[in-house]
Amino acid sequence: MKVTEMQETLIIPEPHNLINGEKVPSGAGRVLPVVSPIDGKTFAEIADSEASDADWAVSVARQAFDDGPWAKLTAAERGRLMMKLSERILEEAESLAQLETKDNGKPIKQSRSDMLIAARYFEFYGGAADKFHGEVIPFMDGYDVGMHREPHGVVGVILPWNYPAQQIGRSVAPALAMGNTVVLKPSEDASLSGLRIAELALEVGFPAGVFNVVTGRGDVVGKALSENRSVDFISFTGSPEVGTMIQIAAAKNFVGCTLELGGKSPQIVFEDADLSAAIPVLVNALIQNAGQTCSAGSRVLIQRSIYEQVVSELKSRFEAIEVGPSDEAAIIGPVISEKQKHRVEQYIARSSEPVIARGKIGENSPEGGFYVAPVLFGPCDPESEIAQEEVFGPVLCVIPFDDEKEAIAIANGTDYGLVAAVWTRDGARQKRVSKALHCGQVFINNYGAAGGVELPFGGVRKSGHGREKGFVALHEFSRIKTVVDYYG
Ligand code: NAD
């Protein structure tokens, strides 16, 4: 199906928030345009909400938590509802994917995969809801000590635009599984799938007020949500700059937060690597989602003895890449916005590192869309801006190294620490290097694990803190109360 055909079946929602189970306009009745990155044209509107809309949603979520039916449901009942939502997302996967592609610009195949992953999160955490519980602690004679696991209360979820539906699954699902209520603030650049998923939650029987959505600007709605004293925990995914503000807001209210921030993730290729397996992955780990992936493998470190060979393979692959309008054929689509396109182009223009290869913008990419031709830079100075900063676009840096020690030093030599890959057949080296890397996930002879819903994910330093995905996320979205009962 071509993008033009897809538009015929697209259901464009009216601008609204979803508060207490109702679709409501923003308090001031203002809207923001929704621009499709594919052609740069406005095709919808979202509510441009006020701080008071966020505050209202929080008060509703508070009430749903304190007095509403949510708290009275058993964990198994909560889990069942979440699994119903998972099934409903799967039923609507195609229309959700079309909406996501139109809104976000990602290739339709990627959007379809995102919906499957979003559904999988609700299935995974729905299944986990009644299996993650407290413990009894053996203590002194005459005491019965229980470690109870409780929800925080109201969780504020603030998300970016790059994987909107997946990120809802990643943050909202574990929060709900633990019995919290949620106010979601999606990115102003990609809010539509979030509104629809929350609507589906109501359809399958989630009580009103449990899963609320408020759209609008970050410095208004996101700020109000993060500063609201009735919010008990914040799950933030986005840039380090905003993450710092969230952390300050959380600290002022003495509440916890998880920060899932950016990355400059290294893929280290040793001379004994299986290059036929590595090379396609080295490219895909960067170009997926036009490089707008927090865990993009945006630095490829290559041992000097195989540098020329690997670079020549990467060069021919980069030259063959054609950026397209996110239809069935597209592997790489536009970036999210005019602003992001400009930002990426500025990074490319400013860099004085050598350009090895550049992809093309396909002729069928509409005028006005936000297309950036991918660039392969190298050999890059590991300290250069392009090799240090997160570009969040289709830009790959290659860096040669001589030995394991130098590879580790370069890999750890940015402010970030999210993900890394090690390509080598040497088992001992796999262990040594993965142990020495400062980051939250290491992939050995693979990359990304197709989203890896079950695999704990998060960063160190400027990549953030806390872990989402997998069972461990349930620790983040709950807290422990120790009850000491003396029975004599
Ligand atoms: P961003 O930080 O600009 O925005 C993220 C969210 O925060 C948006 O909803 C925005 O409206 C909101 N926001 C903006 N200002 C705010 C404020 N003052 N107070 C509260 N909220 C505010 O990030 P972005 O441009 O949407 O996304 C790109 C960034 O996200 C990249 O750095 C990327 O690496 C990161 N990211 C990280 C992960 C991860 O899991 N580690 C995943 C995806 C994206």
> Ligand 1 site: residues with CB under 6 angstroms?
158-162, 185, 187-188, 218-219, 222-223, 226, 237-239, 242, 245-246, 260-262, 294, 390, 392, 418, 464
387 Cα distance to chain centroid? 22
Distance 232 CA to ligand 1 centre (A): 20
List all residues 6 or more positions away from 434 whose beta carbon is below 8 Å from its beta carbon: 420, 422, 442, 444
**Cβ–Cβ under 8 Å, residues 297 and 286:** yes
Judged against a pLDDT cut of 80, whether residue 226 lies above it is answered with yes
- Res. 394 pLDDT band, cuts 50 70 90: very high
pLDDT digits (tens, 9 = 90+) for 284-335: 999 999 999 999 999 999 999 999 999 999 999 999 999 999 888 889 999 9
pTM value is: 0.96
Q: Which atom of ligand 1 is nearest to the CA of 463?
A: 41
Give the 3-state secondary structure of residue 8. Answer: helix
Instruction: Match 């796999």 to its residue by tokens.
Output: 430
Q: Which domains does the chain have, with CATH numbers?
A: 3-261 (3.40.605.10), 266-454 (3.40.309.10)
* 3-class secondary structure, 483: strand
- In the prediction, which pLDDT does 7 show? 52
- Rounded CA-CA distance 164/183 in Å is 15
- Return the best residue to mutate from 234, 239, 264 for the ligand 1 pocket (most ligand atoms within 8 A of CB): 239
Active site residues per annotation: 260, 294
Instruction: Report which ligand 1 atom has the smallest distance to the Cα of 186.
Output: 9
Whole-angstrom distance, CA of residue 163 vs CA of residue 42: 20
Cross-strand pairs, 443:
421
For ligand 1, atom 19: residue with the closest CA: 223
pLDDT in tens, 251-279: 999 999 999 999 999 999 999 999 999 99
Q: In the prediction, which pLDDT does 441 show?
A: 96
Query: Phi and psi at residue 175, in whole multiples of 5°?
Result: -65, -45
> What is the Å distance from ligand 1's center to 430 Cα?
33
Please tell me the distance between residue 303's alpha carbon and the centre of ligand 1 in angstroms: 34
- Beta strand ranges found along 42-176 (DSSP E): 42-47, 135-137, 143-151, 154-158
8-state DSSP, 468: B
Residues 332-356 have pLDDT tens digits of 999 999 999 999 999 999 999 999 9
Do residues 151 and 61 lie in contact, with contact meaning Cβ atoms separated by under 8 Å?
A: no
Average per-residue pLDDT in the chain? 96
User: Could you identify the atom of ligand 1 that is nearest to the CA of residue 160?
Assistant: 26
pLDDT at 68: 84
Q: What is the mean pLDDT of residues 35-39?
A: 97
Beta sheet of 22-24, edge-to-edge order: 22-24, 17-19, 211-213, 181-185, 154-158, 233-237, 256-260, 464-465
236: CA distance to ligand 1 center in Å? Answer: 7
Cα four-point dihedral sign 311, 314, 318, 319: positive
Handedness of CA 344, 339, 447, 2 (dihedral sign): negative
**Omega before residue 379 within 30° of 0, cis:** yes
Residue among 133, 132, 141, 181 at smallest CA distance from 157: 181
Q: Which residue has the higher pLDDT, 221 or 9?
A: 221
Tell how strand 143-151 and strand 135-137 pair up: antiparallel
**Which residue's CA is minimally distant from atom 39 of ligand 1?**
260
Residue of 46, 187, 336 to test ligand 1 pocket, by largest number of atoms within 8 Å of CB: 187
CA 339 / ligand 1 centre spacing (Å): 14
d(CA 290, CA 104): 11
**Ligand 1: residue whose CA is nearest its atom 21:** 222
User: What is the spatial distance between Cα 459 and Cα 472, in angstroms, rounded to a whole number?
Assistant: 14
Give distance in angstroms: CA of 276 to centre of ligand 1: 36
CA-based R_g, the chain, Å: 23
Q: Would you say the C-alpha torsion 310, 315, 318, 320 has a positive or negative sign?
A: negative
Alpha-carbon distance of 443 to 425, in angstroms, equals: 13
CA 260 to ligand 1: nearest atom = 41
